[in-house]
Chains A and B, each alone.
Chain A
């Protein structure tokens, strides 16, 4: 693997994830994560500083197992959470992928993201944006997240943020 190949693999992983989320194909989306994947959306301490220690600071979302992402899907599939009735329409866009390190079967990278969402009930569109810092590993021919950090820049959050709109 050279850097161009690593960049391609990382970008394809993000593009695949975005498409699966936009199509509500959450079972396939979960498969992009290892069982022990860390999924982390840090909060902000002040204007310039993100939270950096999950044990002593509040994160927006912090999961250390794929099962915790599954919890979020179970909640929506229960048809009992008003947040998902209906779900917003989303378009995920990830770009500017930069590979930070790579080795056989392992790539660490950073990328910019923008998610546009439209809430049909409120006829309201909004945009969430920031950076993805992530590491993917190859297991049995499939690339999966070992960790994904989502830095949300516009953290005055309108109403709801969940796995499907970041």
Chain B
């Protein structure tokens, strides 16, 4: 007989995934339990690939930025030889944070506590006054480098790291989702950069509400009805141009999704009305022509469609009237910190850049007219999820009975997804959330089995 796990919650039962019976349910404890939260940090955030930054944040030798992998502070740094390094931001001596600032450029990092020093690759330069330290010879011979992460890799400027070596190569991890990242990176011939002015905010709710909401087209019309009211007012008063579209007549409006191994997913919308059809990359005919000839007609067409991409577990790139990158850090079961950036092609025109920034400020962030609605909804959900007696939620089953036999767009996108969904704009697929939850369950069960060995 198998020993019962010491852990009080049966993780396998939290996600009730029975595709043959058309059942996909998640127990509310997944969002409220402190025990599950601890498991998520240990076995998801600190055990798989997580996004940690853009290469363009550390463009020059000795540039560094600080961030977190799960609970653990890390430094992403470019060394003298141009190579990228990521190491834990904790002195080997007494553990103080070696880089206490957000970002900078330093050839040498000196711990402010006792003066141990490291180079920009994290290698130990000196243990202060080692000769007079009356250390045993074993200590003198030991290495004193800042601890590197187990895996560090980047895909077209997106840098990922893992604290566990037990992960597939990054290219395998991203799989077909990399094609969706290509549609973002390829928007400029010189790649992407963050527009200066990152925004950080918190909401008093679980991180998975953001994960889910970023793939959720269904909520837009109700959650953001106040924003839609503002858009209507702007059009009616001539403050905003009449809606137009980049789509041809033959293409129907619709929304859909694709899912990929390891929990990644994209939600897309093909719309012919609304502000989504004012894009910084499509304003200048010369830019349009450059794009179309460089990436091809199909890829360019998709660049102009709304795509919300989730790279599980901590990255979302939202491409609508502006381009947003957000990354989250779970702080507690009911507290999440979001870091939000406006993403932009390097070298775009001043006019396109300003338009991009204004569109981004209009909708995103706790100061924008859209994301603030989402933040409050997450908090209402967190409070509502305490109603455990109400049983599992019914939020994952739109799209489980596909209305058509084949998927319309994967060939055009050159992807072979695990799953797909497609329907009218009122459809709002939820099956795309299931991929992330399956990966969530796989990683937690893998972690628990490793821990019990």
Q: Contact residues of A with B, CB < 8 Å?
A: 41-47, 51, 54-62, 67, 71-72, 74-76, 78-84, 122, 124, 155-162
Cβ of A41: which chain B residues have Cβ within 8 Å of it? 367
Cβ of B230: which chain A residues have Cβ within 8 Å of it? 71, 74-75, 78
Cβ of B342: which chain A residues have Cβ within 8 Å of it? 58
The count of A-to-B residue pairs whose CB atoms sit within 8 angstroms is 134
Decide if B18 is an interface residue (CB 8 Å cutoff).
no
Which of B204, B225, B353 makes the CB contact (< 8 A) with A80?
B225
Which of A54, A71, A161 makes the CB contact (< 8 A) with B367?
A161
B201 x A83 contact (CB < 8 A): no
Cβ of A157: which chain B residues have Cβ within 8 Å of it? 199-202, 365-367
Q: How far is the CB of B210 from chain A (nearest CB, A)?
A: 12
Cβ of A51: which chain B residues have Cβ within 8 Å of it? 196-197
A57 x B350 contact (CB < 8 A): no
Given A75-B227, A78-B229; A160-B357 close (CB under 8 Å) = no
A162 x B337 contact (CB < 8 A): no
18 residue pairs from A and B, CB less than 8 Å apart: A45-B197, A46-B101, A51-B197, A55-B350, A58-B197, A58-B361, A60-B365, A71-B230, A71-B234, A71-B369, A72-B369, A75-B230, A80-B225, A80-B229, A122-B379, A155-B200, A156-B200, A160-B376
Cα-based distance from A117 to B342 in the complex (angstroms): 29
Decide if B136 is an interface residue (CB 8 Å cutoff).
no
Considering only residues 279-324 of chain B, those with a C-beta below 8 Å from chain A are: none
Q: Contact residues of B with A, CB < 8 Å?
A: 101-103, 195-204, 223, 225-230, 233-234, 237, 239, 337, 342, 350, 353-354, 357-358, 360-361, 365-367, 369, 372-373, 375-377, 379-380, 383
Cβ of B237: which chain A residues have Cβ within 8 Å of it? 67
A78 x B196 contact (CB < 8 A): no
Can you list the 6 inter-chain pairs with the closest CB atoms, starting with the nearest? A81-B226, A58-B197, A80-B225, A43-B197, A80-B226, A78-B229
Cβ of B379: which chain A residues have Cβ within 8 Å of it? 122, 159
